[in-house]
Structure 1
Amino acid sequence: MKAEMLDSGVIVTVCGEELVPLLDGGLWWPNERTLIVSDLHLEKGSSQAGRGIFLPPYDTAKTLARLKVLIQNWHPCRIISLGDSFHDCNAESRMSETDQHALKELVDLQEWIWIAGNHDPRPPANIGGHFRETLNIGPLSFVHEPGLNPKKGELSGHLHPAAKIRRLGRSVRRRCFVGNNQRLILPAFGAYTGGLNITDAAFDGLLATGSTAWVLGTDQIYPIAVAQCV
């Protein structure tokens, strides 16, 4: 995959389209002024509480606040959320009025497209935006779950990729984008989502030889060959 360092960060080229991975886990498509995010998992905290696992109930507010910053910084004309935007089909009913209002305000700022995920196969009733099972724009296709035989230009999420790197006897594990010049898998954006190591069996058959992980550091994105990850 072609990737080159610019003042604004790293540019990744997929099917001839230049994409900018962002430190917060979003992806900027300059030619379309489109911001792409994946796996927000809104209301995961309240879902876990219903199962007796009690987490601080602030994940939705934190995720929306981070998303608002990206929108303010990049001024997109369109946002595409690549599925599992809501942790389950009842998430909207558990959202506080404040969070519902905050989300509706963000959705109303620009065109917003929700891609169906395995956690949220049906769109919430009152949030706004447009719902699609999949989406094609130019040479890029937008889906939730990466396919074993994908279309060229597939952008997906679902797996919450993270890379573990060992250097000088020490190791670090961080969220990452991962792919090649035909596909890109985005990291999870949600506050409570975590990550799955890209060496896990779930990635078998998805990452061609020569694939790259774009690892999210504190203030920089680091392109690392997948073969160098542990």
Structure 2
Amino acid sequence: MVPVSFTFPFCGDEFVLTKANALYWPRERALLVADLHLEKASFFAKHGQMLPPYDSRETLERLAEAVREFGARRVFTLGDNFHDSEGSHRLEEHAAGMLSALTRVTDWVWITGNHDPAMAAHSGGTIAEELEVAGMVLRHEAKRGETRPELSGHFHPRVQMTVRQRHIRRPCAVVSSDNAGSGRMILPAFGALTGGMDASDPAILAALQPASTIDAVVPTARKLARFPLWRHAA
């Protein structure tokens, strides 16, 4: 099944946000994902909390599907790629093979995060603390005071909505805009074993300042829904 996806404008360019929590940048033929947290289950198992050890396989299968869907030539992961810096050593054979294949067929860049600051390139690709691509800053955590266009992760944002009298929490992107026509975006977490933070949490709103507006953006079955989170007082 092809994931539902919607094109929307951001910082003078076009992007595609999918219900699978990936972002595609057509002009750069680049797929962006945040917070994979690969090998989270094995990390907890090391500390006595046994979880089914299939989270990495599930995450990589969905990532491979997104690469195929869009024909992506580049992949940027926006930090917390593994749940800890040693996670790449714990990948089971099947998942390691999947990841190796993905990094061979794409120009793959790992942006490091607070969970994996010392990760090594055991799985292919290249590693950077942050990167600027076509005027867009790619980093793990949004930098308060940043005035350039920015894409980041870290917060695992989720929004609560009411659909047919049911309260639903869904992963979302959080998008800010400023009076100069620029903006910044926090991506939803992509990993199979990731929780979430309320998109209206003060930490998220503070990270995206300065801004004139901040919205939660959610792909639904029929449209890209926007939920206002913050507006600058006139």
Task: Assess same fold via TM > 0.5.
Answer: yes
User: Does the CA-based 8 Å contact 1:174-1:216 persist in structure 2?
Assistant: no
1:107 aligns with 103
User: Does the CA-based 8 Å contact 1:23-1:220 persist in structure 2?
Assistant: no
Q: Secondary structure at the match of 2:62?
A: helix
Seq. identity, %: 38
1:67 is the counterpart of 2:63: yes
TM-score (norm 1): 0.89
Q: CA deviation at 1:170?
A: 3.8
For residues 176 and 43 of structure 1, what CA distance do their matches in structure 2 show? 23
User: Does the CA-based 8 Å contact 1:38-1:189 persist in structure 2?
Assistant: yes
Cα deviation 1:47-85 (Å, max 9, x = unaligned)? 111222221110000000000110111111110000101
Q: CA deviation at 1:168?
A: 6.9
TM-score (norm 2): 0.87
User: Does the CA-based 8 Å contact 2:5-2:219 persist in structure 1?
Assistant: no
1:126 aligns with 122
After superposing the two structures, state which structure 1 stretch, 182-191 or 118-127, moved more: 118-127
Instruction: Please give the residue correspondences for 1:143-222 in structure 2 after superposition, counting only pairs within 5 Å.
Output: 143-166=139-162, 170-181=166-177, 182-207=183-208, 208-217=211-220, 221-222=224-225
Q: Which runs of 5+ in 1 are unaligned?
A: 1-7
Letter in 2 for 1:192: L
User: Between Structure 1 and Structure 2, how many residues are aligned?
Assistant: 221
2:43 aligns with 47
Q: Secondary structure at the match of 1:79?
A: strand
User: Does the CA-based 8 Å contact 1:15-1:139 persist in structure 2?
Assistant: no
Q: CA deviation at 1:119?
A: 0.8
For residues 104 and 167 of structure 1, what CA distance do their matches in structure 2 show? 40
Runs of 4+ in 1 over 4 A off after TM superposition: none
RMSD across aligned C-alpha pairs, in angstroms? 2.0
Q: Which runs of 5+ in 2 are unaligned?
A: 178-182
2:229 aligns with 226
For residues 12 and 6 of structure 2, what CA distance do their matches in structure 1 show? 15
Q: Secondary structure at the match of 2:207?
A: coil
Letter in 1 for 2:86: N
Letter in 1 for 2:46: G
